[in-house]
């Protein structure tokens, strides 16, 4: 399998999302659903990544939305949320967004969801995978009173555009094969899709990015690039977890461009168990310096025995203002959604 031609630091190729190929294999480009792919250099790394890629299905990119008219927007709602592989009730969150419960009573008719640990089930995911490959164990919570719903079903049910980049298989054995990764769901059409292969540490991690565009009520055009990341957790080689997450954060920054003209939001589950003290957070904040107008440092994850940590963040550059805060409930996940309101 090929990762394309090398550049000085990163590798780039273009794939047609949804093609019948494994997770990061070159296929014939499609003008409607082009996805740029950036991966680390080096034959050894690419060989390792190819084994991970052979366990998952292709990128899912359905850039259009069901709505035929666009409303002018001066403020856009963006949410990052680790949904715990079907544990989080995305339908319930969307219903409350549309009622304006988290936006001062004003319905959030347009929104972007950056989901981590979302999953896909079905024939797109390969039934077989390399012999002896250590497939990650399954995460398959049983939400009370409702079935798990995969990312494609959620997007189609709500008429949303979707970019889904699987990073790993969700368990070795299941009745229906599953993979899991990052997704961007949007009420606004997605363009300029970008998948960023992060440096391989303990597990394969892939960031998903795309651009949305619109006009303000005054008629001014705006664009916003969204980048959804999920950094690695327990890494005990090459300097430990702090350095591993910093390396992955630096790869995201480099892929997005340190001085890009398009305003950008970077959000996700950074797995920063030391919170703001971790080098990865300082690294991202330096390049995405627009601070939230409110200071909400509450824990965004709650685990067993009352363990808690601030793992989830939203960073920005090039926007007029941003307000970031944690929502009051987890909707069935082990993470709280984090909501950002972006002003243009």
Q: Look-up: residue for tokens 């709602």?
A: 77
C-alpha to C-alpha distances, 80 to 113, 135, 199, 279, nearest whole angstrom = 6, 26, 22, 21
Q: Which domain holds residue 89?
A: 60-343
Work out how many domains the chain is built from and give that number. 1
Beta bridge partners of 78: 112, 340
Q: Look-up: residue for tokens 């093609």?
A: 19
pLDDT at residue 232 tops 50: yes
197 inside domain: yes
| Residue pLDDT, tens place only, 118-136 | 999 999 999 888 788 889 9
Q: Worst-scoring range by mean pLDDT, 159-163, 203-207, 231-235, 330-334?
A: 231-235
Task: Say which CATH number the domain at 276 has.
Answer: 3.60.10.10
168 inside domain: yes
Q: Look-up: residue for tokens 């391989």?
A: 200
pLDDT of residue 95: 98
**Dihedral of CA 182/185/188/189: which sign?**
positive
Q: Look-up: residue for tokens 């034959």?
A: 43
Q: Alpha-carbon distance 89 to 149, whole Å?
A: 9
DSSP state letter for 100: T
- Asked whether 113 and 208 are in contact (CB, 8 A), the reply is no
331 inside domain: yes
**Dihedral of CA 14/19/22/26: which sign?**
negative
Q: Alpha-carbon distance 340 to 78, whole Å?
A: 5
91 inside domain: yes
10 inside domain: no
Token readout for 236 is 């005990």
Count Cβ atoms within 10 A of the Cβ of residue 204 and give its class: 0-12 exposed, 13-18 middle, 19 or more buried. buried
pTM of the model: 0.92
191 inside domain: yes
19 inside domain: no
| Residue pLDDT, tens place only, 254-290 | 999 966 789 999 999 999 999 999 999 999 999 999 9
- Asked whether 93 and 78 are in contact (CB, 8 A), the reply is no
Write out the H or E segment, with its range, that includes residue 95: helix 90-98
Q: Look-up: residue for tokens 């190819």?
A: 50
258 inside domain: yes
Q: Tell me what the pLDDT averaged over the chain comes to.
A: 89
Q: Alpha-carbon distance 93 to 86, whole Å?
A: 13
Residues 6+ apart with CB under 8 A from 171: 135, 136, 137, 138, 139, 140, 178
């Amino acid at each position: 399998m090929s990762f394309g031609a090398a550049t000085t630091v990163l590798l780039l190729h273009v794939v047609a999302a949804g093609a019948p190929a494994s997770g990061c294999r070159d296929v014939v480009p499609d003008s409607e659903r082009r996805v740029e792919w950036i991966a680390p250099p080096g034959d050894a790394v690419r060989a390792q990544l190819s084994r991970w890629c052979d366990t998952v299905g292709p990128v899912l990119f359905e850039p259009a939305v069901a709505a035929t008219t666009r409303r002018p927007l001066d403020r856009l709602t963006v949410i990052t949320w680790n949904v715990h592989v079907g544990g989080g009730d995305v339908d319930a969150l969307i219903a409350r967004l549309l009622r304006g419960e988290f936006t001062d009573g004003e319905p959030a008719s347009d929104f972007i969801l950056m989901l981590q640990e979302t999953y896909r089930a079905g024939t797109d995911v390969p039934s077989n995978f390399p012999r002896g490959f250590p497939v990650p164990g399954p995460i398959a919570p049983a939400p009370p009173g409702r079935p798990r719903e995969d990312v494609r079903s959620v997007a189609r049910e709500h008429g949303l555009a979707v970019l889904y980049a699987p990073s790993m298989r969700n368990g070795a054995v299941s009745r229906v094969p599953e993979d899991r990764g990052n997704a961007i769901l949007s009420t606004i059409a997605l363009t300029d899709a970008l998948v960023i292969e992060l440096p391989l540490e303990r597990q394969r991690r892939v960031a998903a990015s795309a651009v949305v565009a619109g006009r303000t009520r005054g008629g001014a055009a705006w664009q916003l690039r969204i980048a959804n990341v999920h950094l690695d957790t327990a890494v005990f080689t090459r300097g430990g977890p702090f350095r591993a997450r910093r390396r992955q954060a630096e790869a995201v920054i480099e892929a997005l461009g340190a001085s890009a003209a398009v305003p950008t939001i970077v959000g996700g589950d950074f797995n920063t168990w030391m919170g703001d003290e971790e080098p990865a957070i300082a690294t991202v904040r330096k390049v995405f310096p627009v601070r939230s107008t409110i200071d909400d440092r509450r824990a965004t994850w709650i685990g067993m025995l009352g363990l808690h940590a601030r793992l989830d963040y939203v960073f920005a550059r090039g926007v007029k203002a941003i307000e970031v805060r944690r929502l009051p409930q987890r909707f069935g996940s082990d993470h709280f959604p984090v909501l950002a309101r972006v002003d243009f």
